[in-house]
Structure 1
């Protein structure tokens, strides 16, 4: 489902089955690279090395002298939302291919994507969701 069209269930299913490349953060923590937007921590994930490289370039990691290699973890989307997100403090979603304007996708921390215990809308009145 992109731009309000398509089948969101199929997209979520593909996301869950897809091996994603998640860059590791620099520094001592060795955690996953994340960013903050709108009160949500977003784990950066990429569908292939090209998408990860475009993101690295957008963050100033060129191919010139002194350029560093980016270490990353390969993980299924399902494992990311089912096993990793529960270990992170605060609302956490997944931002996929964020350097590619026409291919980027956000999987926010809401019911149906993450476990209810970690969804920001789990306690919301969903009577109108029928």
Structure 2
């Protein structure tokens, strides 16, 4: 987890009309009620993703940010539980960081009960 938080990731920006609810204006997808923010370790990984979507011929604007900034600042901007999907077009190198305690802030983790333990939160 420490390596993920220190890593500089490429985070593609969402098309304004296509993903209006994206957290912080970054590209994402919703699966099983969880929003997954896309992030990539380098431009080649982002290009593989674009090509897999049949969109390798267009420009893909992106932000570069630390993994820590993505989970600590962008995840809280989302409209639902949110995790990070890294290098999703790579069969062997993809990683998922779900919205659970220890990855996202506890107040946005799906496995923390905010009413337990006197309101301080405890793992459910």
TM-score if structure 1 supplies the norm length?
0.80
State which of 38, 44, 61 in structure 1 corresponds to 2:38: 44
Query: Which residue in 2 is equivalent to 1:53?
Result: 47
Distance 2:110 2:45 in 1: 28
* CA-atom RMSD in angstroms: 1.8
- Structure 2 gaps, min length 5: 117-121
State which of 83, 91, 104 in structure 2 corresponds to 1:93: 83
Query: Which residue in 2 is equivalent to 1:73?
Result: 63
Aligned residues: 112
- Structure 1 gaps, min length 5: 1-11
Query: Which residue in 1 is equivalent to 2:15?
Result: 26
Q: Which portions of structure 1, spanning 4 or more consecutive aligned residues, are displaced by more than 4 angstroms?
A: 124-127
Instruction: Judging by fraction of residues, say which structure has more strand.
Output: 2
Distance 2:123 2:79 in 1: 25
Query: Which residue in 2 is equivalent to 1:106?
Result: 96
